[in-house]
Structure 1
Amino acid sequence: MGGLKLLRAANPKLFSDTECDKYPTSYEELSVFLKREQVYSGAELPTELDYLDSVLYGDGERGIDLDRKLRVEYALFKASTIQTERAGPGPSLDELVILNEQVQGAHKQKTSEFAQKQHAFYTALLALLQSVSLDHVTLQSVLTAAEGGRDCDDLEKSVSGVSRSIQPSPLDEVTSYLISGALQHGVDLKPSTLEAESPRDDVTFFKECIDSLLRNVESAQPLAGSHNTEYDRKDESADSDIAVALKDLQLAHSFLTKKFEGDRNEYLRSIDKLTRTNKELSHELLTYHSELSTVRENCDILTKEREELKSQLECHSSLSTPNLVQSSPVSNASVSSTASGSKPYSIGVMRNEFKKVLTDTQNRYEKELQEERDLRKQLEQELASFRARRSGYNL
């Protein structure tokens, strides 16, 4: 279908729907077309006689010229009739075939009648050949009568030979060539003053033939002019169709060229935009990676500091209790009463202060650790969203 669309675009008038619908495109449409139209089946093949008729009487426009063939057949019939009346009826072709079979049978049997039968066969063959042969004068009369359109009575009068004496002249050969050429090529020669009762004048006959040829040429000139005019019209219509088809092709080519250029520019702009976006996203990805590595390092440092502080706090808590117990009896017996009176208060205060310091330190570390967790969670979310956007651009 793509080829048909291209042909329609090139020549819409020739490949229109109405023209394409005239031809069958399926088996059912072909069957209906063959039943409706009388198509030559090809069963009757041409024979040798058909080929001979096409060579002798062929006409380029109408096939076989029946008028010329009838004239020649009539001339041959009259010639054979005249020869039969002169020499008497000769042997027929069937009799000749029978004699030939008898000669072959005698030759196979090697009888004494072989020579007699062979002599009879040759005699009959010679008589048959003589019966179909004509002399020059009779043949010329038959051809002249056939070409001139004269009937049987005129031919019998002309070939009787008693009342008419034809003397051979140098123009006889030219006359014979003219008549035979006219019969072969279908030229209609009709001398107007040629009469059967008068002796034939070759010069007058040639003049009449020349006048007939000139009349045929004059009558053929208007036909040739009309044919040339028709051919010129056909050429003009064909040129106009070709010009329309060429114009359509030029318009289609310009349209497709502009469309291709527009699509190409749009593709180039899209490629540039995607390239810039890819560069920006790559730069952002590197920035996020660097920030993430920095945050991880800070987390590791803070984790280490927290562990160190925890260890220091544990060491400090373990060492502070024995020192307080040992440092309480520092005075002598004179001061023991005062020390014993103030010992419970100072230990309680110190414990409260220590718990407060420990609580504040632990709260501060917990707060910093929560901030680090929140920051890490935020960075992970941003990294996930960045990866999702990058995968969407790649698709």
Structure 2
Amino acid sequence: MEFRDLKTQYKALKNNIAKAIFEVLDEGSYIMGRQVHELEKMLADYVGVKHCITCANGTDALTLALMVWGVKEGDAVFVPDFTFFATGEVVSFEGATPIFVDIDKDTFNMDPDKLEQSIQLVINEGKLNPKAIITVDLFGLPADYNKIEPIAKKYNLLLLEDGAQGFGGRIGDRKACSFGDIATTSFFPAKPLGCYGDGGAIFTNNDNWAEIIKSLRIHGKGKDKYDNVRIGMNSRLDTIQAAILIEKFKAFVEYELDEVNRIADIYTKELNGIVKTPVVPDGFYSSWAQYSIQCKDEAERNNLMEYLKQQGIPTMIYYNKPMSKQKAFSSEEYEPKFTITEQVSKTILSLPISPYLNNINLNNINTIIKGAI
């Protein structure tokens, strides 16, 4: 059994993907070919923003956003304490200070109340300049932008949506990667929309920022690649990956998103009351990058994980250590005390999920968990 069944997905899309790749090979434009621009337009139209700028990976996408905003030493950037390392890493990479914010116990996303408390703390201490907020659409569920966007405006902070796991999610009619001032996503293979390597994208409605990001991703180019007007980086999406993503995006929109939600609904129906199942608030829609349950304590979680492994069922722990506890951030003075993040990291367990998880395996997983608990 696969944790995220990319093999079955490939079999379903094999002919279309092969045709798309051979078109790139026939055309011979391997970097920034026409498929890159076609993909950018498709994704911008789907999300509902003016600009989509692709790049080499999701981490670069975050970095490019912070670069265009001029985030620097002395700035404070507020990030959730429960997420992948890259979200905090890019802040430190720009010389700024990540301020870790605790999460909501049900959604695992940044807690808006804790966010405002953290902002006020930094303002009152007066050591750092509050600059931006990076939210994360964790496991496919958009953060609570209904509450976070007003907080950003209240304190005049830039808002960056890290939609690496959230592409396809939405709140009401607003889709993930349309929130905040800039949004980013990742096309890492296991993401809701993934390629066969690394890839990423930046979304914004700001014309000026879009033009600067296009320059920054190609060595700060001006009118051509030998006219360099600013210090940038080399972060382009390969044409072959763009061609693959175009074909995978069609399947994503046509049936994958609906199917992964059907599977998540079955998990929740069967496991609710046995373990703590994920919460999707009213009006929210998840793209289910992960389906993550919570056990009553760390021992139960670890025992269940081992038992499922013995039955041939793969699981993962996202994430077993808060960001603030990572050694790389040990010098930061803004470390939360005992938090929801710390509790969740000891009890969370992610189960296999993908649009291609068949009903036999799904029922087997549910039956085994019920028996084990």
- What is the TM-score with the length of structure 1 in the denominator? 0.16
More strand by share: 2
Kindly name which structure, 1 or 2, has the bigger radius of gyration based on alpha carbons.
Answer: 1
- What is the TM-score with the length of structure 2 in the denominator? 0.17
More helix by share: 1
